[in-house]
Chains A and B, each alone.
Chain A
Amino acid sequence: MSRTLYDKLVDAHKVCDLPDGDMLVYVDFHIMNEYTSPQAFSGLEQKGLKVWRPEAHLSVVDHVKATRQRAPHNAASKLLIDNLEANCRKHGIAFYGLGDPRQGIEHVVVPEQGLVAPGMLIACGDSHTTTYGAFGALGFGIGTSEVEHVLATQTLRYKRLKTMLVNVEGALAPGVTAKDIIMKVIQVVGAGGANGYAVEFAGDAIFAQSMAGRMTICNMAVELGGRAALIAADDKAYRASGQMTFDAETWASDEGAEYDSVFNIDAAGIAPLVSWGTSPDQSVAIDGMVPDVSAETTPKAKAALARALDYMGLEPGQAITDIQIDSAFIGSCTNSRIEDLRAAAEVVKGRRVAERVNAIIVPGSVFTKLQAEAEGLDIIFKEAGFDWRPESGCSMCLAMNDDIALEGERLASSTNRNFEGRQGRGARTHLMSPAMVAAAAISGHLVDVRDFKKGTA
């Protein structure tokens, strides 16, 4: 019987069936951060339980991490960080905290430290845990009650998902990136289109991507509702993996495996995309226009569109390239790896950030920062007028530290969510690739990075 990669991964981790269609699955590796784990540890305490297998967990400080300085920027952040450290010390769990050379954004740190391999099951109290699908590993986000459950049992209660295949065939046009692929997929499938599904990405445009590009794609699969994202493990994935081997299976779907839903997308037809609205599926090609409310057919759709345009302060029919920005942000678990920084530096080199624009780069990890500095990328950014932050964390992607956008501030951002208030109350986020953010920072408005490179913008 042909099986999908997803079904192979679930089958390989099933501990036992439970009543009513649930099962227990074994969690090979579990990652924690400072803000979704405290109540899990207190739950253990209240129930008098211990951690089942402490060496299978890792804690990283990232969500509240200040990026201008090493020390916490306020007492509340310090409390979260100190609490996580104390919990880890007590239970013998690895902790990458302030000043640790391995610290950074959890989903950047984990692959960097060789802690992912094809065939693993990885859980974390963070929705972007889908990132590890890039390695043919089953990664997914969990809530705090489930964090407690993994700590105590090394398992999770699990219900098998439906499967979706997204085929991206053909070659991308020059200047089009992994970020554009996933933004196109979200646009086509819709923000909740993959609720209840594990999404497998396939096709030559996917396999042509670097591991960093594949991580960007799997990372944002959660924005279409995918509870898991997967890409079959090929040589590239095995070479990028750590020391663990889970080689009982071939970590790819069998020939003839069937999916509950299939989408086919032509890679050649994808242009650099930017989001214009307040949901990640509200995006348009950079040479397009802000959509027209009257083009919507139902009153509900008209109202939703009008609300998004009102929040974003945009007019229907406005050219996307006429949108002026106040700030540019390159960072986040989606796009802050060394490959992303190189792509941005290529655009920035020898140019200056537009006068009004506040441009910030937060490297994905301490390791990424050091590598970028060894390559001289920091000099390129600083000479152009970028604020190159010395410390790593999630920063302005969700504004849980002190990097908070102001009311009405408009940002070009290499992050994953353009929700209302995501980067600060009333802040207006336009999602795009890191190279597009860099080009917008230089131009002062949204711009096609392809024209920009040719010097016509």
Chain B
Amino acid sequence: MPSTVQGLAAPLPTANVDTDVIMPKRFLVTITRAGLADGALADLRFDETGKRQLEFVLNQTPWDDASILIVGDNFGCGSSREHAVWGLMQYGIRGIIGTSFAGIFFDNARKNGLALPVVGPDVRDQLLELAGHSEGLEITIDIGSRQLFYEDQTAAFTMDDATRTALLKDRDDTLDSLKHADAIRQFEAGLTETMRVKVAQ
């Protein structure tokens, strides 16, 4: 992915937005990664008849063009479903700025190149407020320098080194890890027979 993510930010201040809300279960009955854009935050975006709920921020101008979300604490809690990340990205989200993310959601985002800058509550609250103004707020997430740029301001964010590298390098973790096949075999050679799980067919 590019080393910066730039776009309009939408405020989503609710705390503990869970992956059931991010990707409702009726969209999970699939064997591919595709076709999940409509599922992203579906019960907030649409009513039960499929009509857009106009009071929801992502259905309003200018936030219907948002590619960055400013979110409440503990975003992405709950289920491990990676469909939540796939769906948000297919909808057009490229970065989510918050104070804390649930662990599995965070790792899933890293695997898919979705940037999750972590900031303190003061910065987050300021961004929520600015992003809520009707003219909209453009933010640049600079992954290389771990900084956010918006209006004439700058704020540092936290992102661990491994996640930053993964986002910048856009590598395939599975293929990259197989370069260590010898180390894996060596580790396995040290396992006793009773430490080798063999599941009955």
Q: Which of A76, A145, A153, A195 contacts B108 (CB 8 A)?
A: A145
**Which of B53-61, B131-139, B142-150, B171-179 touches A?**
B171-179
**Which of B1-9, B62-70, B88-96, B180-188 touches A?**
B180-188
A203 close to chain B: CB less than 8 A: no
Q: Please measure, in the bound complex, the distance between the C-alpha atom of A225 and the C-alpha atom of B82, giving whole angstroms.
A: 17
Q: Please measure, in the bound complex, the distance between the C-alpha atom of A304 and the C-alpha atom of B200, giving whole angstroms.
A: 49
Q: Please measure, in the bound complex, the distance between the C-alpha atom of A422 and the C-alpha atom of B196, giving whole angstroms.
A: 37
Task: For B188, list chain A residues within 8 Å (CB).
Answer: 26, 53, 154
Q: Please measure, in the bound complex, the distance between the C-alpha atom of A115 and the C-alpha atom of B198, giving whole angstroms.
A: 9
Q: Which of A20, A43, A144, A153 contacts B161 (CB 8 A)?
A: A20
**Whole-angstrom distance from the CB of B179 to the nearest CB of chain A?**
10
B123 close to chain A: CB less than 8 A: no
Q: List 17 A-B contacts (CB under 8 A).
A: A15-B184, A20-B162, A35-B81, A39-B33, A79-B29, A93-B199, A146-B111, A149-B173, A152-B174, A154-B184, A192-B74, A192-B102, A195-B101, A244-B197, A246-B195, A398-B25, A421-B43
Q: Which of B14, B25, B180 contacts A399 (CB 8 A)?
A: B25
Task: With A16-B183, A192-B102, A304-B14 as known contacts, state yes or no: A145 contacts B111, CB within 8 Å.
Answer: yes
Give the total of A residues in contact with B, Cβ under 8 Å.
80
On A, residues with C-beta under 8 Å from B are 15-16, 18-22, 24, 26, 28-29, 35-36, 38-39, 42-43, 47, 49, 52-53, 55-58, 64, 76-77, 79-80, 83, 92-95, 115, 120, 125-127, 141-146, 148-149, 152-155, 157, 159, 161, 191-192, 195-196, 223, 225, 227, 243-246, 279, 300, 304, 307, 398-400, 407, 417, 419-422, 425
Q: Is the CB of A192 within 8 A of B184?
A: no
Q: Please measure, in the bound complex, the distance between the C-alpha atom of A246 and the C-alpha atom of B15, giving whole angstroms.
A: 41
Task: With A42-B31, A398-B25, A420-B43 as known contacts, state yes or no: A245 contacts B195, CB within 8 Å.
Answer: yes
B21 close to chain A: CB less than 8 A: yes
Q: Please measure, in the bound complex, the distance between the C-alpha atom of A420 and the C-alpha atom of B21, giving whole angstroms.
A: 7
Task: For B32, list chain A residues within 8 Å (CB).
Answer: 38-39, 42
Task: For A83, list chain B residues within 8 Å (CB).
Answer: 31
Of listed A95, A115, A243, A244, residue having the most chain B CB within 10 A: A244
Q: Please measure, in the bound complex, the distance between the C-alpha atom of A22 and the C-alpha atom of B161, giving whole angstroms.
A: 9
Task: With A16-B183, A149-B177, A420-B43 as known contacts, state yes or no: A143 contacts B104, CB within 8 Å.
Answer: yes
Task: For B13, list chain A residues within 8 Å (CB).
Answer: 300
Q: Is the CB of B177 within 8 A of A244?
A: no
Q: Is the CB of B82 within 8 A of A76?
A: no
Q: Knowing that A18-B162, A143-B80, A192-B100 are A-B contacts, what are 18 other residue pairs whose CB atoms are under 8 Å apart, sorted by A's residue number?
A: A16-B180, A28-B195, A28-B197, A39-B33, A42-B31, A42-B32, A47-B174, A56-B196, A56-B199, A142-B104, A145-B108, A195-B101, A196-B103, A244-B197, A300-B13, A399-B25, A420-B21, A425-B43
| Cβ-closest 10 pairs across A and B | A192-B74, A38-B31, A143-B108, A143-B82, A20-B161, A145-B111, A20-B162, A76-B29, A227-B103, A141-B80
Task: For A145, list chain B residues within 8 Å (CB).
Answer: 82, 108, 111-112, 173-174
Q: Please measure, in the bound complex, the distance between the C-alpha atom of A16 and the C-alpha atom of B181, giving whole angstroms.
A: 11
